[in-house]
């Protein structure tokens, strides 16, 4: 593999990136050329929404090509275009061979949810302190235990599960991703678990991960969710959570819990307003700018 490295002003980033796609680059990435310096710029955007800008004032564009000839041809073609004015070719370089599996694995270490409840990749030894654990490797679906929203949900499950003498009862994991919350609920005494997602890959991932952890989870598409549940979990994002307010609230049994995540601190009030006709949400946990919101019927 060979990389073509460019330096472009912000106003050229989108056009040059589109041109690289047309030249059949295997991938195109954009990063702040001044990252890790005093001139670094922060770009904040909402998850799932278009970025506020296409790049930084000084953007480094890296395009990956299968051969050096393809990278050199792309460089020559770009330099001949009027829209390339103001851009600089920093060179073509070979991508060093690496053990990508080992590199990926090195980025995922065991995660402690509580002192005795851990998420552990299969290639790691089980920590001595782990009395309960979930074996989970990164895959196609969201949820490895490293994100604050997942950790907060799992902490809530650990607190309210059978370790505290309170049954989670029948559980619905809506938007299950990898199935990590459903598996966590099973580990803490849930009596029956339905895990649903609109993504068929997530459903299959949930089934495989549940089997690998020796627990029973009923995974399927959203229509599998039927009736009321003692515990309803949804770790998605604020906008779909607002849309789903009547549906999720309707699944919460009398005396049951609703647990919502994927919410930024500044979005708390709008979520409370969206659920007010059915349930009174409150902030139950915070981590790194994210919040966990819960309600009880």
Question: What integer is the mean pLDDT of 176-186?
Answer: 94
Q: Note the pLDDT of residue 35.
A: 79
Q: Note the pLDDT of residue 133.
A: 92
Q: How many angstroms separate the CA atoms of 296 and 158, rounded?
A: 17
Strands laid side by side in the 282-287 sheet: 218-220, 192-196, 170-174, 229-235, 252-264, 290-296, 282-287
pLDDT in tens, 53-95: 667 888 999 999 999 999 999 999 999 999 999 999 999 999 8
* Residue whose structure tokens are 């002003």: 9
Q: Check if the beta carbon of residue 79 is closer than 8 Å to that of residue 73.
A: no
Question: What integer is the mean pLDDT of 272-287?
Answer: 97
Residue 46 has pLDDT above 60, yes or no: no
Q: How many angstroms separate the CA atoms of 212 and 44, rounded?
A: 37
Q: pLDDT confidence of 137, banded at 50, 70, 90?
A: confident
At residue 248, φ and ψ (nearest 5 deg) are: -65, -40
CA 253-257-259 angle, to 5 degrees, is 130
Least confident of 55-64, 93-102, 106-115, 256-265: 93-102
Question: What integer is the mean pLDDT of 198-221?
Answer: 94
Give this prediction's pTM.
Answer: 0.69
SS3 content of the chain, % helix, strand, coil (to 5): 35, 30, 40
């Amino acid at each position: 593999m060979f990389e073509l490295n460019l330096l472009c002003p912000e106003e050229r980033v989108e056009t040059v990136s589109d041109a690289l796609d047309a030249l059949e680059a295997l991938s195109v990435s954009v990063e702040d050329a001044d990252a890790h310096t005093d001139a670094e710029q922060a770009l904040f955007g909402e998850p799932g929404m278009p970025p506020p800008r296409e790049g930084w004032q000084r953007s480094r564009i890296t395009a990956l090509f299968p051969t050096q000839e393809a990278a050199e041809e792309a460089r020559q073609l770009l330099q001949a275009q009027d829209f390339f004015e103001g851009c600089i070719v920093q060179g073509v370089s070979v991508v060093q061979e690496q053990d990508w599996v080992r590199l990926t694995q090195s980025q995922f270490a065991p995660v402690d949810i509580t002192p005795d409840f851990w998420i552990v990749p299969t290639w790691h030894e089980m920590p001595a302190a782990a009395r309960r654990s979930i074996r989970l490797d990164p895959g196609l679906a969201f949820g490895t235990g490293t994100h604050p929203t997942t950790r907060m949900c799992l902490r809530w499950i650990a607190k309210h599960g059978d370790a505290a003498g309170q049954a989670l009862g029948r559980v619905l994991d809506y938007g299950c991703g990898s199935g990590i919350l459903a598996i966590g609920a099973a580990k803490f005494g849930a009596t029956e678990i339905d895990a649903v997602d609109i993504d068929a890959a997530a459903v299959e991932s949930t089934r495989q991960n549940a089997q690998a952890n020796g627990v029973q989870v009923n995974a399927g598409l959203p229509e599998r969710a039927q009736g009321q549940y003692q515990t309803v979990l949804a770790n998605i994002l604020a906008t779909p959570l607002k849309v789903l307010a009547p549906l999720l609230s309707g699944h919460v049994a009398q005396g049951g819990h609703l647990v919502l995540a994927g919410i930024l601190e500044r979005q708390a009030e709008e979520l409370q307003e969206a659920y007010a006709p059915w349930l009174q949400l409150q902030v139950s946990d915070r981590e790194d700018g994210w919040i966990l919101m819960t309600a009880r019927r």
